[in-house]
Amino acid sequence: MTATVLPTSDALRTRALAALAGLGAVVPEGTGLRARTPITGTDLFDLAATTPADADAAIATAAAAFLEWRHTPAPVRGALVRRLGELLREHKAELADLITIEVGKIRSEAAGEVQEMIDICEFAVGLSRQLYGRTIASERPGHRLAETWHPLGVVGVVSAFNFPAAVWSWNTALALVCGDTVVWKPSELTPLTALGASALLARAIAEVGAPDGIHQLLLADRVVGGRLVDDPRVALISATGSTRMGREVGPRVAARFGRSLLELGGNNATVVAPSADLDLATAGIVFAAAGTAGQRCTSLRRLIVHEDIAEQLTERLVAAYRRLPIGDPFADATLVGPLISREALDRMQRALVTAVAEGGTVLVGGEAHDEGTHPDAAYVRPAIVKVRAHTATVRAETFAPILYLQTYRTLDQAIALNNDVPQGLSSSIFTRDQQEAEMFTGAGGSDCGITNVNIGTSGAEIGGAFGGEKETGGGRESGSDSWKAYMRQATNTVNYTSQLALAQNVSFLAAPDAG
């Protein structure tokens, strides 16, 4: 059953207003959009939605601000992001409150999301002095050949509900440091978090004297988001969401020769080898599969266990799942909060029915809780399903806490199962065999953008590039050299002689006019 008595909608509304006030944000009263909480499944506020005309004006404002911002020295741009990071640190609790209220994340995960925002700001501040180009040896005497990086333009950020603030910060911190301006269209499920984060950035902009228009917020539905996708003034669309959404966004941006950075679905697997530390594996698996109620793009959805240890590990996991405290995400004891909606619960339970029809066995979980007290909320015990084959249901991503368990005999078989899905975001292996670890992470191993050893599939640090292959979209955000997606590259050849020398020894010199 649930871990605690759930708060009332009135209590959550009061807490949301207090958090917004602490962040310097107000609720834009009006119609067209509703702020909702999955904790009780009820609406909290009616909000004024951004109209198509408002969206066009916001893009125009950002495009005009870019003309000034791109000339601001990068370290000065970094000062803005530094101040944002400081404000996030000061107001971590308030922003985490909004995330918990709108997403249902437990407190430690909501606070961890804000910490991720702080971390990416620190990364971006350092980056502001490291937007390095390179000098290249020229084949022509008296010539300098170089590569330089320049601001790209307006960056459109379309974010999903499950990380309503962190993904925005990944994009915004890097884009601002790179000299771009940002127009943000958050999920319509998380407008309060967007208002709070935007208010902190607006305060930072005012305090450091940056141009007012460099960040714009669109609180709207998919139709208005489509205007952002289709507008030629938007140089880059960074979109996080489902593969279905990516199939729509990618071609539309490509049709206007814009750039897109897509972070789409994941159907992530963990391999557990015979040599694995089962205590470590159990802890890592349970967090990766049940954390955030299975609503991370990196959530563990497929468990591939060696035959020799399958029974032992299964017993551990089933026991751990039965002990998971489910309920109020604000309560310290809770480990699993609600799903985002009743529709998400319905999709989960339909997937379980299909998996059983395909020959699977539900070992634990899948039952809903608190339907009587909160009929519109969606609390469910995470499920483990033992499957006999890699069916269509297993190969599809269900955005809910379902873990499909199957066995393997050889590592080659395990790697083949890991790769036998359309998605390619995250993967991991638990093993104490160095050779197995190297094979899994090597060129012939996992085909995912993230390959971990002795940790689960979720919980990436901001220092590494985040993203995946295949239907995950191929984009990279956050750390490493992901900043290059937000800039344009130029190759410069400078001739500092009085002679014209052509590359490849081409001769094309007309005789001078003797006049």
| Cα–Cα distances in angstroms (integers) from residue 234 to residues 74, 138, 229, in the given order | 21, 35, 8
Rounded Cα gap, residues 260 and 96, in angstroms:
29
How far is residue 23's CA from residue 95's CA, in Å, rounded to a whole number?
A: 8
512 is a domain residue:
no
DSSP state at residue 268: E
In the prediction, which pLDDT does 373 show? Answer: 72
Same domain assignment for residues 259 and 272? no
Q: Tell me the three state secondary structure of residue 360.
A: coil
Q: Regarding beta strands 134-136 and 143-151, do their DSSP bridges make them parallel or antiparallel, or are they unpaired? A: antiparallel
**Whether residue 196 sits in one domain with residue 70:** yes
Same domain flag for 250 and 295: no
Q: Measuring CA to CA, how many Å separate 131 from each of 124, 208, 289?
A: 10, 21, 37
Q: Residue 372 has what pLDDT?
A: 64
- C-alpha span between 449 and 323 (Å, rounded): 33
Same structural domain, 321 and 419: yes
**HSE of 464 in the Cβ direction (CA atoms, 13 Å)?**
11
Asked whether residue 502 is assigned to any structural domain, the reply reads no
Q: How many CB atoms lie within 10 A of CB 419?
A: 16
Ramachandran class of 506: left when φ > 0, alpha when ψ lies in -120 to 50, beta otherwise: beta
387 and 358 Cβ atoms separated by less than 8 Å: yes
Indicate whether 248 and 280 sit together in one domain.
no
Q: Could you tell me if residue 402 is inside a domain?
A: yes
Return d(Cα 260, Cα 168) in angstroms, integer: 15
Say whether both 86 and 143 belong to one domain: yes
CATH number at residue 328: 3.40.309.10
> Which SS3 state, helix, strand or coil, does residue 203 take?
helix
| 180 shares its domain with 87 | yes
What is the C-alpha separation between 411 and 307, in angstroms, rounded? 11
Low-confidence spans in the chain with pLDDT less than 70:
1-4, 371-372, 509-515
297 among known catalytic residues: yes
Q: Classify residue 509: in a domain, yes or no.
A: no
Report the distance separating Cα 284 and Cα 84, nearest Å. Answer: 32
Give yes or no for a contact between 321 and 364, defined as CB atoms under 8 angstroms apart: yes
Residues 316 and 182 in one domain: no
Total tally of structural domains belonging to the chain: 2
Q: CA nearest 14: which of 33, 37, 30, 34?
A: 37
Q: Which of 102, 297, 397, 436 is catalytic?
A: 297
Q: Give this prediction's pTM.
A: 0.96
CA distance 385 to 231: 45
pLDDT at 515: 53
Give the number of residues written for the chain: 515
Q: Is 178 a catalytic residue?
A: no
Shared domain for 256 and 303, answered yes or no, is: no
Structural domain contains residue 504: no
Which is the catalytic residue, given 263, 397, 471, 477?
Answer: 263
Decide if 172 is inside a domain.
yes
146 shares its domain with 251: yes
204 vs 482: CA distance, rounded Å: 24
Token representation of residue 176:
């601002």
- CATH code of the domain covering residue 84: 3.40.605.10
Q: Are residues 224 and 280 in the same domain?
A: no
Residue range of the domain that includes 431: 268-464
User: Does one domain contain both 277 and 260?
Assistant: no
Q: Own/partner pairs for 450-453, CB < 8 Å, 24+ apart?
A: 450/298, 450/425, 450/426, 451/426, 451/427, 452/426, 452/427, 452/428, 453/428, 453/429
